[in-house]
Amino acid sequence: MKKLFLLISILSLSQVNAQIDPVKYPTFTNIEDALNNEKAVYSMSFREKGLFNLPPQIVKLDSLFFLNIMANKFEKMDQALFKLKELEFLNVNENSIKYIPDEISQLKKLTTFSMNLNSLTSINPNVGKLQNLKAVHFDANNLNTFPEALMEIPALEEINLQGNQISFITDRLYQIKNLKFLNLANNQINDMGTLSFPKKIKYLELQQNAIIRLPENLFKAQELEFLNISDNNITEISPGIKGLKSIVSMNLANNNLKDIPVEISQLKKLKTLILIGNPIEKSKIEKLKAMLPEAQVYF
C-alpha cells in the first residue's frame, strides 16, 4: 500500500513540475549553489537528502515559488519555511510531520500544497486562510474527518484524501464551488447522508470504502464525467442516476448490485460501465447492453 501512495506522490510531483519551465526556472538541489547564483532562484528541491531541518539560509531565497522537500526526515515544518512569501508550490510528501503550524497562513500565494504520506491527524484551520489554493494532497495520513478548513476555500479545484480513515463528511462540501476533482478512495465512509456536491465536480473517486447507499444529491452533479464507487457495499442504484447527464465512465465493480435501473439508458455520453464482481444475472446484463449500444459494459 505504501508503494502505491509513493507512486501517487511521484505522479503529483511530476504534474507540478510540468507547470515549471526548466530553462526559465532551473531547479537547484544544493543551497550553496542557489545562494551563489547571480540570478533570482525560483525553484529548489531537497528531495531524499536525509534532512531533519531546512538549511536556515533558505530564507535568503526570497523569490522562491517552488519547494520540494519530499522523502526526508522532517518531524515538523521549520519556521524558515514560512518566510518564503512567494511560495506557490510546496511538496512535503513522505516525511513524519504530525501537524501543520498556525504560520501556514503566511504562505498567501500557495496554490498547490502536498503532504502525502505524513502523520497528520487533522488539518489546521489556518489552512482555510490560503484562499489561492487550487490543489491539496493529503493522501495516506491519519485523518478521520474531512478537513473543515477546506470548506473555506471556494477556489479549490482538486482535493486528494485517499488512504486516510475518514468516516464523516460535513454537508458543506458544496461550498467549494470550483471543485472538479475529489478523491476519497480507501477511507472508512459508510453513510454519506444527504451530502451535496459542488456543481462543477467532474471526477469523483469513492472506491474502497464501506458505502451502502449513494446520496440522492449526487445525481444532481450534471457535469460529473468520471465516477468510481467500486469495492463498496452498495445494494442498489437510484433511478435518479439519469441526472448524470455528462457521465462518461462509471465503475460499480465489486458491490452487491443485483440490477441496474432502466433510467441508465438516458445517459447518452456513457462510454464505459464496469459491473465486474456484482451478483447480476446474465440476462439482465444482456438487456443492459442493448439499452447502452454506445457503451462498453464489463461484467
Percent of the chain with pLDDT over 90: 91
**How confident is the model at residue 21, as a pLDDT?**
74
**How confident is the model at residue 6, as a pLDDT?**
44
Secondary element (H or E) of residue 251: strand 249-251
Q: What is the dihedral of CA 23, 21, 81, 142, to 10 degrees?
A: -140
* Cα(12)–Cα(4) distance, integer angstroms: 13
**How confident is the model at residue 24, as a pLDDT?**
77
Contact 278, 258 (CB under 8 A): yes
* Cα(210)–Cα(225) distance, integer angstroms: 23
Contact 153, 177 (CB under 8 A): no
Where do the domains of the chain lie? 1-139
Secondary element (H or E) of residue 136: strand 135-137
Cell reading at 232: 463498496
Cell reading at 190: 459508510
* Cα(260)–Cα(265) distance, integer angstroms: 10
**How confident is the model at residue 19, as a pLDDT?**
58
**How confident is the model at residue 12, as a pLDDT?**
43
| CATH architecture of the region 1-139 | Alpha-Beta Horseshoe (3.80)
Q: Which residues of the chain have pLDDT under 50?
A: 1-3, 5-18
> Which single residue is written with the C-alpha cell 543551497?
31
